[in-house]
């Protein structure tokens, strides 16, 4: 299959990852895309593209499913990005989160299985939950076997059901298992992607400007800088994340489309091992970066405060301690290695927010 002839169904095409994937696919002008989303403000520039057809609707109504099925029959691949995927909502809208990440996706899995269409499904690195190391005395991070996240080996460890943080991870895990079961029982071709903190322009929203609520950490820290309010470190900001530039991530996705034989029937971590930071380090790096962008050195001392997770997210939050991906699957099968350092990814992203929201 070449991308020249590829017809794509893209669900959740109007979000952060969808917008960047559309930028690249439509610039290459090699495929025909039918996209579904409730929102289109991040992809306005593509709405008139002759090879992009936007369906501004939910994917979960019976009418939409009928329309999607008609398109699936004509297409080569279904890329599913649609989800509620904001940690502040996992414990505050648990039923919506479970529906969005499991029950709304199940009919689509069945349609792909029925028509034997390649389903590329966006899961999350959160399916790994907490690391084994985090349960040992002194968070034993000496031995990579106790914290490195390996697609086909690492156990998936989540907290008790009263900690509703895990609704998202658990729904995504069940979706992965349903996809895998369909693959084993009816040869559904699939690719599961577990993103590890993609960063880039157009991620989330800035509360009070183009959205309301508590977005992911990048937008939370950015809002604090834009609005001259303190940045808050949840539970002291010790949690670690590895951050990958959206451009590196999109490179990986394009390689998957180019190499279906290598990409199909696999689960891929997509992240960047070199870009690991604690949230306290991220806050400091962001204020230093914003001082460079604005030329205002006062930002270097922008206030950073600590807050309990209970006060920040409410009851039922529990954090993933560390996410260090094993990337050998993506390296070996796709020939993909992320290249963009955290400092560059942050500069580009924060400059975008500065230009658009300051």
By CB under 6 A, how many residues form the interface with ligand UDP?
15
We find the least distance from the C-beta atom of residue 153 to ligand NAD, in angstroms, to be 20
Residue 232 contacts residue 306 (beta carbons within 8 Å)? yes
Tell me the CA end-to-end span of the chain in Å, nearest whole number. 45
| Cα–Cα dist 326/347, whole Å | 26
Verify binding: residue 220, ligand UDP, rule CB under 6 A.
yes
Sheet holding 190-195: strands in order across? 52-56, 32-37, 7-11, 77-80, 118-122, 190-195, 266-270
By CB under 6 A, how many residues form the interface with ligand NAD?
24
Beta strand 231-234 with 304-307 is: parallel
Verify binding: residue 124, ligand NAD, rule CB under 6 A.
yes
The one-character DSSP state at 131 is -
How many C-beta atoms surround the C-beta of residue 351 within 10 A? 16
Query: What does 234 interact with, of ligand NAD, ligand UDP, none (CB < 5 to 8 A by kind)?
Result: ligand UDP
We find the least distance from the C-beta atom of residue 16 to ligand UDP, in angstroms, to be 12
Give me the catalytic one of 168, 232, 313, 353.
168
Query: What does 81 interact with, of ligand NAD, ligand UDP, none (CB < 5 to 8 A by kind)?
Result: ligand NAD
Does the active-site annotation cover 90?
no
C-alpha neighbours within 13 Å on the C-beta side of residue 331 = 10
Verify binding: residue 58, ligand NAD, rule CB under 6 A.
yes
Q: Of 30 and 321, which CB lies nearer to ligand UDP in the complex structure?
A: 321
Verify binding: residue 83, ligand NAD, rule CB under 6 A.
yes
Name residue, tokens 């992320």.
338
**Structural tokens at position 240:** 């670690």
Verify binding: residue 352, ligand NAD, rule CB under 6 A.
no
Verify binding: residue 54, ligand NAD, rule CB under 6 A.
no
We find the least distance from the C-beta atom of residue 215 to ligand UDP, in angstroms, to be 7
| Cα–Cα dist 10/178, whole Å | 20
| Cα–Cα dist 184/265, whole Å | 10
Query: What does 319 interact with, of ligand NAD, ligand UDP, none (CB < 5 to 8 A by kind)?
Result: ligand UDP
Interface region with ligand UDP, contact rule CB under 6 A, candidates 12-20, 38-46, 235-243, 248-256: 235-243
Active site positions, annotated: 168
Binding site for ligand NAD (CB under 6 A): 12, 14-18, 36-39, 58-60, 81-83, 85, 100, 104, 122, 124, 195, 197-198
């Amino acid at each position: 299959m070449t991308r020249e002839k590829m017809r794509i169904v893209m669900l959740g095409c109007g979000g952060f990852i969808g917008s960047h994937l559309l930028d690249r696919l439509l610039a290459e002008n090699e495929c025909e895309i039918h996209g579904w989303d409730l929102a289109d403000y991040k992809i306005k520039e593509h709405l008139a593209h002759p090879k992009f057809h936007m369906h501004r609707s939910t994917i979960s109504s019976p009418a939409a499913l009928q329309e999607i099925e008609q398109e699936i029959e004509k297409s080569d691949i279904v890329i599913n990005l649609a989800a509620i995927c904001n940690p502040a909502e996992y414990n505050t809208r648990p039923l919506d989160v479970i529906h969005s990440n499991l029950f709304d996706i199940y009919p689509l899995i069945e349609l792909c299985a029925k028509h034997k269409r390649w389903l590329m499904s966006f899961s999350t690195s959160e399916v790994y939950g907490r690391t084994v190391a985090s349960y040992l005395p002194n968070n034993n991070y000496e031995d990579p076997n106790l914290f490195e996240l390996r697609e086909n080996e690492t156990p998936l460890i989540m907290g008790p059901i009263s900690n509703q943080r895990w609704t998202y991870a658990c729904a995504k895990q069940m979706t992965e298992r349903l996809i895998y079961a369909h693959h084993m029982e009816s040869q559904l071709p699939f690719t599961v992607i577990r993103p590890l903190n993609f960063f880039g322009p157009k991620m989330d929203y800035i509360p009070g400007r183009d959205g309301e609520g508590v977005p992911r950490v990048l937008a939370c820290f950015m809002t604090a800088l834009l609005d001259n309010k303190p940045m808050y470190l949840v539970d002291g900001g010790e949690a670690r994340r590895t951050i990958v530039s959206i451009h590196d991530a999109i490179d990986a996705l394009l390689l998957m489309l180019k190499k279906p034989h290598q990409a199909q029937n696999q689960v891929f971590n997509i992240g960047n091992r070199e870009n690991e930071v604690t949230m306290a380090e991220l806050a400091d790096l962001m204020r230093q970066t914003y001082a460079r962008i604005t030329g205002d050195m006062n930002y270097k001392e922008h206030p950073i405060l600590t807050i309990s997770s209970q006060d920040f997210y409410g009851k039922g939050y529990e954090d993933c301690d560390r996410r260090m991906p094993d990337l050998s699957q993506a390296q070996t099968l796709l020939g993909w290695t992320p290249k963009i350092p955290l400092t560059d990814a942050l500069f580009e992203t924060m400059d975008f927010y500065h230009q658009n929201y300051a």
